[in-house]
C-alpha cells in the first residue's frame, strides 16, 4: 500500500501524551513526588498509563516527579516502547506474575493501578485459570498489602481496579446506555465466564476492603478501548481489521456485523482512569468510555476501510465468513454503550477524541508499530 506522507510514530504518541497531561494537570500535580505502581504495565493500557506520568515528569523538578514502578510477567516479551524507557530514572521495571504472591521486598506505594489481566476473549478463553487468578488472587494480594501499609501508618492514597464493561453481560434494550447500578445479565458458566465473573468478584473484593478497612479503593469499568499499544495480534475487532488491512486483503468479519458498540480512544480512557484514581469516591465504580456514537461492527469496518484507503490507497472490502471457533459469538453482547454521567459529575471526565480521529490515529500507529505477524 502507498504511504501518503503519514505522520511519524513519535509525533503521534507525543501528541497523545501532551493531550493526556493537559487533561490531567491537576491530578498529576497531586501525584507529584509520590510512588505509583502499575501492574500489567507492559500491556495495552500500560502503553499510556506508564508513559503519561513519565511525560509529565519531563517539565518538573526531580522532587516533583511521579516515580513509576511496573509489575509484569512479560509473557509476550517486553514491548519496544517500554524497552526504550528502561533508562528513565523515574521508572522501575520488575518482572513479576500477579498470579503469584507479591515480592517479599514489596515497598510501600502511594498509588496503585491494577491493570494486570488477560483482556482479549481470544486469549482469556485459552487461559481461564490464569485470568481468574490475576483478577482475584492478584487483586487480593494488593488489597492485603494496602491494609498492611495502613497498619504501619502509611496508608495508600488510592488504589484503582480496572474491571470491565463485560460485567454487565448482554443488557436488555431498556438498560442501554448502561448505568453503573445495572446488576448485569452474565453467564457464570459460559466461555467468557472466567473473565466476566472474576472481574465481578474483584469488584466485590474492592468494595468489601473499602468498607471494612477504610481503604481508598475505586473501580473503573472500561468500555471498548482501542488505540496505540493494542497489539495487532490481540484478537479484538479493531486490531483484527487492521491486520487484514496491513496484509492488503479483504476485512474478514465472523458475524453479520450488526452488534453495536461505542469505541473509546486510549488517550481519553487513560485520562479517565487517572481521574478515577485521584478523584474517585472510595468504594464507587465508574464507567470509563465514550457515550456516542454507537456504531455497528459493519460501520466500524467501513470507517477503517475508508481511512486506510485515504492514507494508503487500500482497496479491500468486507468479507463475511463463519468462524471455526464454535464459541466465537457465544455470550457476545448485542449492544454495549455506557452512561458516563457519574464519571462526568464525580471525576470531571470528558472524552474528546472522535471515532473518526481515533481510527485515523490507530491505523497510523499500526502502520508504524506493528510487528511482523503470520497471515
- 218: three-class secondary structure by DSSP: strand
pLDDT at 372: 46
Catalytic pick from 111, 124, 168, 195? 195
Cβ-proximal residues to 353 (8 Å cutoff; 6+ apart), any chain:
265, 267, 268, 361
pLDDT at 304: 98
What DSSP string describes 52-98? HHHHHHTTS-GGGPPEEEEEE--TT---HHHHTTTT-TTEEEEE--T
Low-confidence stretches of the chain (pLDDT < 50) are: 372-375
pLDDT at 122: 82
pLDDT at 374: 45
Q: Which residues of 307-338 are buried (b: 16+ CB within 10 A; e: fewer)?
A: bbeebbebebebeeeeeeeeeeeebebebbbb
Q: pTM (2 decimals)?
A: 0.95
Q: What is the dihedral of CA 130, 99, 38, 372, to 10 degrees?
A: -40
Q: What is the phi/psi pair of residue 217, to 5°? A: -125, 130
Strands 225-226, 264-265: pairing kind: parallel
Q: Topology of 9-230+264-293+332-353 in CATH?
A: Rossmann fold (3.40.50)
pLDDT at 232: 93
pLDDT at 373: 46
Whether a cis peptide bond, with omega within 30° of 0, leads into 177 is yes
pLDDT at 371: 56
- Is residue 195 part of the annotated active site? The answer reads yes
Beta partners for residue 91, in sequence order: 68
pLDDT at 335: 94
pLDDT, tens digit, 9 for 90 and up, residues 30-72: 999 999 999 999 999 999 999 999 999 999 999 999 999 999 9
The whole-angstrom distance between residue 232's C-alpha and the CA centroid of its chain comes to 15
pLDDT at 120: 82
The set of cell numbers assigned to 120 is 482479549
CA distances from 284 to 215, 289, 338 (A): 12, 16, 16
pLDDT, tens digit, 9 for 90 and up, residues 147-186: 999 999 999 999 999 999 999 999 999 999 999 999 999 9
Amino acid at each position: 500500500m502507498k504511504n501518503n506522507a503519514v505522520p511519524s510514530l513519535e509525533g503521534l504518541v507525543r501528541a497523545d501524551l501532551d493531550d493526556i497531561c493537559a487533561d490531567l494537570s491537576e491530578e498529576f500535580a497531586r501525584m507529584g513526588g509520590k510512588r505509583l505502581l502499575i501492574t500489567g504495565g507492559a500491556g495495552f493500557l500500560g502503553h499510556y498509563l506508564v508513559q503519561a506520568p513519565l511525560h509529565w515528569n519531563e517539565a518538573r523538578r526531580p522532587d516533583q516527579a511521579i516515580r513509576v514502578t511496573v509489575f509484569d510477567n512479560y509473557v509476550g516479551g517486553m514491548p519496544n516502547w517500554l524497552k526504550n524507557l528502561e533508562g528513565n530514572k523515574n521508572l522501575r521495571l520488575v518482572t513479576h506474575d500477579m498470579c503469584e504472591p507479591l515480592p517479599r521486598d514489596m515497598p510501600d506505594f502511594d498509588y496503585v493501578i491494577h491493570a494486570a489481566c488477560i483482556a482479549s476473549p481470544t486469549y482469556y478463553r485459552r487461559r481461564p485459570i490464569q485470568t481468574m487468578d490475576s483478577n482475584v488472587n492478584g487483586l487480593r494480594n494488593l488489597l492485603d498489602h494496602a491494609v498492611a501499609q495502613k497498619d504501619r501508618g502509611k496508608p495508600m492514597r488510592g488504589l484503582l481496579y480496572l474491571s470491565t464493561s463485560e460485567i454487565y453481560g448482554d443488557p436488555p434494550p431498556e438498560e442501554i446506555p448502561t448505568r453503573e447500578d445495572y446488576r448485569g445479565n452474565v453467564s457464570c458458566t459460559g466461555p467468557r465466564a472466567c473473565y466476566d465473573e472474576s472481574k465481578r468478584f474483584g469488584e466485590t473484593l474492592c468494595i468489601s476492603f473499602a468498607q471494612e478497612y477504610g481503604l481508598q479503593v475505586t473501580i473503573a469499568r472500561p468500555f471498548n478501548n482501542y488505540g496505540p499499544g493494542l497489539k495487532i495480534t490481540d484478537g479484538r475487532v479493531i486490531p483484527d481489521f487492521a491486520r487484514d488491512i496491513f496484509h492488503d486483503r479483504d476485512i474478514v468479519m465472523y458475524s453479520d456485523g450488526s452488534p453495536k458498540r461505542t469505541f473509546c480512544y486510549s488517550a481519553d480512557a487513560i485520562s479517565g482512569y487517572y481521574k478515577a484514581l485521584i478523584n474517585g469516591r472510595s468504594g464507587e465504580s465508574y464507567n470509563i468510555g465514550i457515550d456516542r456514537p454507537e456504531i455497528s461492527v459493519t460501520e466500524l469496518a467501513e470507517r477503517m476501510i475508508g481511512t486506510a484507503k485515504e492514507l494508503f490507497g487500500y482497496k479491500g472490502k468486507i468479507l463475511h465468513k463463519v468462524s471455526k471457533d464454535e464459541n466465537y459469538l457465544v455470550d457476545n453482547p448485542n449492544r454495549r454503550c455506557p452512561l458516563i454521567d457519574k464519571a462526568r459529575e464525580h471525576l470531571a471526565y470528558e472524552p474528546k477524541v472522535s471515532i473518526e480521529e481515533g481510527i485515523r490515529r490507530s491505523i497510523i500507529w499500526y502502520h508504524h508499530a506493528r510487528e511482523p505477524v503470520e497471515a
